[in-house]
Structure 1
Amino acid sequence: MGGVELARPLYFWLGTLATVAGVLLHLPMYLHGADMHYRLAGMPMDLPMTIGMVLIVAGLVVTAWGLVPPGAFAARPAAEVRVRALDDQRMRPAHIGLIVVMSVAVVIDAMKPITLGFVSPGMVEEYGLRSPLNPGGDLPVALLPLSGLTGTVLGSLLWGWLGDKIGRKPSILYAGVLFIGTAICGVMPSFEGNLAMCLAMGLGAGGMLPIAFSLLAETIPPRHKGWVMVLIGGNLAVAYLLASFLSATLAPEYSWRVLWLVGLPTGVFLILLNRFIPESPRFLLAHGRDAEAHAIMARYGATLTSESDVERVQDEHEGGYSRLFRAPFTGLTTAVVILGLSIGLVTYGFQLWIPSNLRSLGLDQSAADRALADSTLLGLPLIFISAAMYGLWSAKKTIVVLSALVGAALVVLSFSGETLAHDRTWLYVLLAGPIVGTAAIAAVLAAYSSEIYPTRVRSRGSGLSAGVGKFGGVAVTGVLVAGAAAPSIGMTALLGAVPLLLAVVAVLVFGVEPVKGPAGAPAEPAKV
């Protein structure tokens, strides 16, 4: 596959087929519920579903065995070398193909957690959960995103570790099989079953973007890497567009459950897609697979560079994340943290609950979903504009402009959101900011945090910017689970607007412009 052999191909394909068969055995239960509009709450699991569960668990175990290379957990990383594309290398067809394939992979991956907001209204109705649509419900529906978000946090840690141990390609393949298996969320008779499956889904979805960026770092010429990362990260908005479109077209007829069942075909497609994704040359070198590593480097115009003794000593003795909060990085890290936190609050506060909030304002399910799809489509060009601004203009100014625009839109929505339900034109325009603009800011921040810190703390800086976003999500969903406040459109908009506008000030005061060193790699910030 893509010039890189799997460890045990037969076991991988047997495990994948068993997982697919296990999901298919759940479908008769779903289809039998057609005359009840697919309401399955409280129904007992039948024999085919039980057999299917066993097949899925067995399939995941066998698939893992098929993907783990012999001696994977004993191999040492190739710490003495780095793999990087030559700075003067032109973009080749191989680079363009990788960008397209990784964009599609990120869209498929991101659709999983994004779907949480679109299934919530249907789950509230079927399971009698507490939400803005049903304040007197029993369990809070916010437990669902809390479960999924917890899974993504754990998945980020797990997949980062797996990517180093078993390789980037096997890690992505296993995520695809996990997406297939967790498609049975769409047939779970109980809310508790959905919580367990949602946690597993989050485990698979948590690590795709970091793995994608790791591959790009070794294959994309450094002078193009910034705008490429923004472009690929911005595909979160494309994922939102597809999720809202599927909800508008399929959910009214086939219920919210079908939005989980699409994990079967998209997971299979992701697995087939990965034949075009290369393995990390650095990983291959660590496992003695030099011929495969050099073939991939030749295809993408990459080369080996020796890590200097200074870099190794610095990496070993610079301490943990606390180093980011000491001079000369204190102000810069403060700006990154505030911006990352605001992204998490908008994504898991405003975005997650906007499908429910639009329905509470009087829009039916189809109208609410189409409004979100149209708003996303309207704002989609912003992703390409952001990539161009970042690559051709200014990274710092791009962050400031995007954050200010999204913050302003959220302020208007926080005070006028309910009345705007009757003015569809302005509603669509204002919704485009928090939906597409937030995806653009998240992509820009990922690229920015990987460039502004020097080598010795760069990986920790990138990890911090991603982690605080998830922390913001955990915080806001935890508050909602506790029932401290009802997630109205005004409250969730204001919750995101305040830290986002604070981030504008912080970036203006403390932000720096990435400076390219002689080798094309980011140099030390001149002054922070």
Structure 2
Amino acid sequence: MRTSLQRQQRGSLAFLIGCIVIFAGGALHLPMLVMAHEMGNRLVGMPMDQPMYAGMVLIALGVPLAIFGALSTRERVKELDSSVRFEISDETPLTARHYLVLAVLSVALVIDLMKPATLSFVLPGVRSEYGLDKATTAWLPFSALSGTTVGSFLWGWIADRYGRRISILLAAVLFVATSVCGAMPTFAWNLVMCFLMGCSAGGMLPVVYSLVAEFVPTKSRGLALVLVGGLGAVGGYLAASLAAQTLEPTYGWRVLWLLGVPTGLILLIFARIIPESPGFLHAKGRTDELDEMAKQYGIVQVPGHREAGGDASLATWLTWTLVLTALTWSTINFGLLLWLPSELAMRGYEAGTASGLLARSALFALPTIIVVSLLYSRWSSKWTLVVTMAVTVAGLVGTALPSEILANRTSLIVVMAVLLVGTNGMMVVLMPYVAESYATAVRGRATGLVAGSSKLGGVAIQVFAMGGLVPGLAIASWILIVPMLLAIILVGLLGHETRGVALEQSSA
């Protein structure tokens, strides 16, 4: 017991020192940023000064120290026991504690999803400052999205092995460390730092959905999952677009990456409010914490055995169907939507105007999250997913309209609102559906697989862009309609209903 306590104390000290070193390293990047602001917020061509080199060394030392400190306080779990079930009775009311955790997790998703959404708004500035063509510029989203793909797989594994809460804590630390991407004077260093930033951002999605599914009663689970996901998805895009519209004209595109410092601090401050997975606590023998969770959230272990599994081949087909759905979504989100600000800029729209148009479109999409939440929780989880996919197809048809129609601002806002409604609603529903469809023992990795797939299509798009093989907006839209229609058919045939079904029973 004493050895375990000493190990936790040493780990906590190492984590604290690592965080201090990271913040110090970030602060050493400020002098060059201040100098750049006085010269039009341009760092291209400026040699890295000694404080910046020292700051990068400190960050390189602080990150592994913080990771070591965090993980050393938790013994790795080889495998969670799938036969052990934890449930919350439907008679258990949602308390202020439940709502507080849901609010914190929603903020975590907003911060997390703001990272990839910001890519859309930095690309025009990056391309202009470094004098790049479109193919070369595509290396930036390629690096960032590759990082998020790796991060989704990695953090899903960490969540199942070391716990959900520790994963969020580490992601917050890396948010702060990689925010110095905005201070890199060369394009090559931007690529390196954006890859690392992507690794940190990619892990929040699977962990948050796993947690929400595990500590909300069955009757409220679907609504909570979709609301948290919806607020995170739309809020992340809206936060990115508003930040670009408000800050970029004065401080340049780099400030959008620097927002990782305050947002990472917010997550670190509220990390202690986030509960741990009950299955993980049981595997670790932390009965005192399980008892506390029973008091705070009503989570209790229930007797019984693991439900008999269904057709394994059907389950495999469903998994690949969800992967296809995520891949198609990511191709749309990180293909069409990622390059849209650049497309608008080439059509004569100024950067602030383009960001404003997308922000207004996102505002139109925001109320639909409430509708989707109610449909998912009160009507059908499976068919709500199908409906959002169909709306996405309608948005793709809209973007394929003749350029003369899209030249009108009102038409453009309507088309983009439909596409954002579909894509945001689709992702808002897809990840909760995945979280409800897999057992606790593999939930982190399963959601990580689909979350990683929700970035992988974007990686493929950037590869085509680097080769100059990306077609025009209309042609790309028609191409993407085909796999989306196929995914709709497969979900309709292979999907199962999770609404109102106990968590472990729906994943059997």
**2:347 alignment counterpart:** 361
Question: What SS does structure 2 have at the residue aligned with 1:409?
Answer: helix
Equivalent of 1:494 in 478, 489, 496:
478
Structure 1 unaligned residues grouped into runs of 5+: 132-138
Q: Quick one: structure 1 residues 7 and 404, their matched pair in 2 at CA, closer, same or farther if it must change by over 3 Å?
A: farther
In structure 2, what is the Cα distance between the partners aligned to 1:121 and 1:163? 36
> Are the equivalent residues in 2 in contact too, given 1:516–1:523 (CA < 8 A)?
no
Q: Quick one: structure 1 residues 256 and 355, their matched pair in 2 at CA, closer, same or farther if it must change by over 3 Å?
A: same
In structure 2, what is the Cα distance between the partners aligned to 1:189 and 1:460? 37
Q: Which has the higher helix share?
A: 2
Matched, 1:291 2:288: yes
Q: Quick one: structure 1 residues 188 and 65, their matched pair in 2 at CA, closer, same or farther if it must change by over 3 Å?
A: same
Q: Quick one: structure 1 residues 329 and 147, their matched pair in 2 at CA, closer, same or farther if it must change by over 3 Å?
A: closer
Matched, 1:162 2:158: yes
In structure 2, what is the Cα distance between the partners aligned to 1:74 and 1:333? 25
Instruction: Report how far residue 513 of structure 1 moved.
Output: 3.3
Equivalent of 1:176 in 145, 152, 172:
172
TM-score by length of 1: 0.87
> Are the equivalent residues in 2 in contact too, given 1:183–1:262 (CA < 8 A)?
yes
| Cα deviations by residue, 1:443-466 (Å, 9 ceiling, x for unpaired) | 212222344578999777655543
Instruction: Report how far residue 333 of structure 1 moved.
Output: 5.0
In structure 2, what is the Cα distance between the partners aligned to 1:431 and 1:450? 28
Q: Quick one: structure 1 residues 307 and 124, their matched pair in 2 at CA, closer, same or farther if it must change by over 3 Å?
A: farther
**2:338 alignment counterpart:** 352
Matched, 1:340 2:307: no
Alignment of 1:188-267 (within 5 A): 188-234=184-230, 235-267=232-264
**1:93 alignment counterpart:** 96
> Are the equivalent residues in 1 in contact too, given 2:213–2:436 (CA < 8 A)?
no
**1:134 alignment counterpart:** none
In structure 2, what is the Cα distance between the partners aligned to 1:452 and 1:142? 35
Question: What SS does structure 2 have at the residue aligned with 1:36?
Answer: coil
Instruction: Report how far residue 193 of structure 1 moved.
Output: 0.4
In structure 2, what is the Cα distance between the partners aligned to 1:163 and 1:463? 9
Q: Which amino acid aligns with 1:468?
A: S
Question: What SS does structure 1 have at the residue aligned with 2:451?
Answer: helix
| Cα deviations by residue, 1:166-213 (Å, 9 ceiling, x for unpaired) | 322222111111111111111101111011101111111111111112
Instruction: Report how far residue 386 of structure 1 moved.
Output: 0.4
Question: What SS does structure 2 have at the residue aligned with 1:84?
Answer: strand
Q: Quick one: structure 1 residues 13 and 449, their matched pair in 2 at CA, closer, same or farther if it must change by over 3 Å?
A: closer
Q: Which amino acid aligns with 1:274?
A: A
Question: What SS does structure 2 have at the residue aligned with 1:380?
Answer: helix
Instruction: Report how far residue 79 of structure 1 moved.
Output: 5.3
Q: Which amino acid aligns with 2:184?
A: M
**2:58 alignment counterpart:** 55
Greater alpha carbon shift after TM alignment, 458-467 vs 225-234: 458-467
TM-score by length of 2: 0.90
Q: Which amino acid aligns with 2:497?
A: E
| Cα deviations by residue, 1:396-444 (Å, 9 ceiling, x for unpaired) | 332232222221122121123x334532222112111222421210121
> Are the equivalent residues in 2 in contact too, given 1:6–1:66 (CA < 8 A)?
no
Give RMSD over aligned pairs: 2.7
Over the matched positions of the two proteins, sequence identity in percent amounts to: 40
> Are the equivalent residues in 2 in contact too, given 1:451–1:514 (CA < 8 A)?
yes
**2:43 alignment counterpart:** 40
> Are the equivalent residues in 1 in contact too, given 2:179–2:261 (CA < 8 A)?
yes
Instruction: Report how far residue 98 of structure 1 moved.
Output: 1.2
Instruction: Report how far residue 40 of structure 1 moved.
Output: 0.8
Alignment of 1:377-388 (within 5 A): 377-388=363-374
In structure 1, what is the Cα distance between the partners aligned to 2:237 and 2:9? 32
Instruction: Report how far residue 41 of structure 1 moved.
Output: 1.2
> Are the equivalent residues in 1 in contact too, given 2:436–2:503 (CA < 8 A)?
no
Question: What SS does structure 1 have at the residue aligned with 2:136?
Answer: coil
In structure 2, what is the Cα distance between the partners aligned to 1:479 and 1:451? 34
> Are the equivalent residues in 2 in contact too, given 1:108–1:239 (CA < 8 A)?
yes
Question: What SS does structure 2 have at the residue aligned with 1:114?
Answer: helix
Structure 2 unaligned residues grouped into runs of 5+: 1-7
**2:3 alignment counterpart:** none
Greater alpha carbon shift after TM alignment, 403-412 vs 236-245: 403-412
